[in-house]
């Protein structure tokens, strides 16, 4: 419990809005870890599930640590790494004991406080102190009830939203279709639908830059639902680049986009037009392996004392994400 005694020090390091920053090209990974990631695919900084041993994954995660303050450890998670999974699967949770030991925490095993999903990259907040973890989780839960955003994602979208800023509201449910759990929108949900698992979801978006028919968008989920942001952007007819699940719901005829019926649309590899493939310097087969361009870039944490303003944690973009921005002429300040 020694880590719990420096709780004030942990949060004090982020006072006055100080953010965690790293060299953008490094994306939070050391040289050895970058080589391990790069040699496994065409997209630098991408983790391919099933290609790492436990020891290699621990090395990658240790190199992905962007900050340590008291009991808190912050990682910049590579895309494709699941946080949880089935017994026997290699996940972030499954290697936390080894990661804790490699970071010199001894018996103080890390636990997950907040994390991006499997297909997204970005911030993972860990704590070796149960009391600290509990306090932070209560802060996140209270912020969610008050509709105050605590997480900001960066996304590149295939298509440009009609408005530069706004909110996306949709009732969503999970359906098991052809052996896969998929998010399905529900029109005008009834009270019975809500009782049976349909959830009213809400996200805020802001377009940061546009170019080549794509957009760099900041997304702030105000509710929590699996794949909420991907589903929301597909409903806006602007699927996230590298979304090989929900992008198939967007059809195009004579340059006009429209939503296809969910019941007749199965997940498939995202199809990009020739002009966009050219800007990205990708072949169609390479584009079929394009990683999801959704990155948990910023987390807001409570201040050190109750009246202190929230502070921020920041995670640099993955190398492949930065490369895409450069190819498309999108600039992120």
At 251, which CATH number?
Answer: 3.30.2350.10
Residue 274 and residue 199 share a domain: yes
Residue 216 and residue 196 share a domain: yes
**Token representation of residue 223:** 């509710």
Question: What average pLDDT does the structure give for the chain?
Answer: 86
| Higher-pLDDT residue of 323, 45 | 323
Query: In this structure, is residue 134 part of a structural domain?
Result: yes
| Higher-pLDDT residue of 119, 25 | 119
Residue 291 and residue 156 share a domain: yes
In this prediction the pTM is 0.87
Cα Rg for the chain, rounded, in angstroms?
Answer: 20
Residue 102 and residue 160 share a domain: no
* 208 has pLDDT over 80: yes
pLDDT score at 167:
97
Q: What does the pLDDT look like over 89-98, one tens digit per residue?
A: 899 999 999 9
* 36 has pLDDT over 60: no
pLDDT score at 329:
95
pLDDT score at 221:
97
pLDDT score at 13:
36
Of the candidates 294, 310, 290, the residue with the CA atom closest to the CA atom of residue 302:
310
Query: In this structure, is residue 118 part of a structural domain?
Result: yes
State whether residue 240 is helix, strand or coil: strand
Mean pLDDT of 219-244: 97
CA dihedral 308, 310, 315, 321 (to 10 degrees): -150
As a whole number of angstroms, the distance between CA 204 and CA 180 comes to 27
DSSP structural state of residue 2: G
Q: Say how many CA atoms lie within 13 Å of 300 toward its Cβ.
A: 17
DSSP structural state of residue 179: T
Q: Which domain holds residue 118?
A: 49-146
Query: In this structure, is residue 69 part of a structural domain?
Result: yes
CA dihedral 64, 86, 295, 134 (to 10 degrees): -80
Query: In this structure, is residue 85 part of a structural domain?
Result: yes
Strand ranges for the chain from DSSP E: 65-69, 72-77, 111-115, 121-127, 151-158, 165-177, 180-186, 199-211, 214-221, 250-253, 256-259, 294-301, 311-314
Residue 229 and residue 322 share a domain: yes
Residue 232 and residue 114 share a domain: no
Residue 229 and residue 118 share a domain: no
Residue 298 and residue 317 share a domain: yes
Query: In this structure, is residue 219 part of a structural domain?
Result: yes
Give the residue from 146, 165, 185 where a domain finishes.
146
């Amino acid at each position: 419990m020694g880590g719990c005694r420096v709780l004030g020090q942990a949060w004090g390091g982020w006072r006055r809005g100080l953010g965690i920053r790293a060299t953008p090209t490094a994306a939070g990974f050391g040289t050895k870890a970058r080589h391990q990631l790069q040699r496994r695919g065409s997209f630098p900084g991408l983790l391919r599930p099933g290609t790492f041993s436990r020891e290699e994954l621990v090395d990658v995660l240790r190199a992905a640590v962007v900050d340590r303050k008291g009991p808190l450890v912050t990682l910049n998670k590579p895309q494709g790494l699941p946080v949880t999974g089935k017994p026997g699967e290699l996940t972030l949770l499954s290697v936390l004991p080894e990661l804790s030991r490699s970071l010199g925490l001894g018996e103080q095993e890390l636990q997950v406080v907040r994390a991006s999903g499997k297909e997204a990259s970005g911030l993972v907040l860990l704590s070796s102190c149960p009391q600290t973890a509990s306090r932070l989780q209560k802060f996140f839960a209270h912020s969610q009830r008050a509709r105050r955003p605590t997480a900001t994602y960066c996304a590149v979208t295939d298509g440009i939203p009609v408005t530069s800023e706004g909110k996306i509201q949709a009732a969503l449910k999970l359906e098991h279709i052809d052996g896969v759990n998929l998010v399905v929108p529900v029109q005008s949900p009834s009270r019975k639908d809500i009782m049976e698992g349909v959830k009213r979801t809400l996200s805020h978006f802001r377009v940061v830059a546009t170019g080549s028919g794509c957009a760099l968008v900041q997304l702030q989920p105000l509710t929590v639902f699996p794949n909420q942001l991907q589903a929301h952007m597909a409903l806006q007819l602007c699927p996230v680049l590298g979304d090989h699940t929900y992008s198939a719901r967007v059809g195009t005829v004579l340059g006009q986009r429209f939503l296809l019926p969910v019941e007749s649309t199965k997940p498939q590899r995202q199809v990009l037009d020739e002009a966009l493939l050219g800007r990205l310097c990708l072949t169609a087969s390479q584009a079929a392996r394009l990683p999801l361009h959704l990155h948990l870039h910023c987390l807001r944490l409570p201040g050190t004392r109750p009246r202190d303003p929230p502070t921020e944690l920041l995670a640099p973009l993955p190398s492949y994400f930065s490369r895409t921005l450069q190819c498309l002429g999108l600039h992120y300040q």
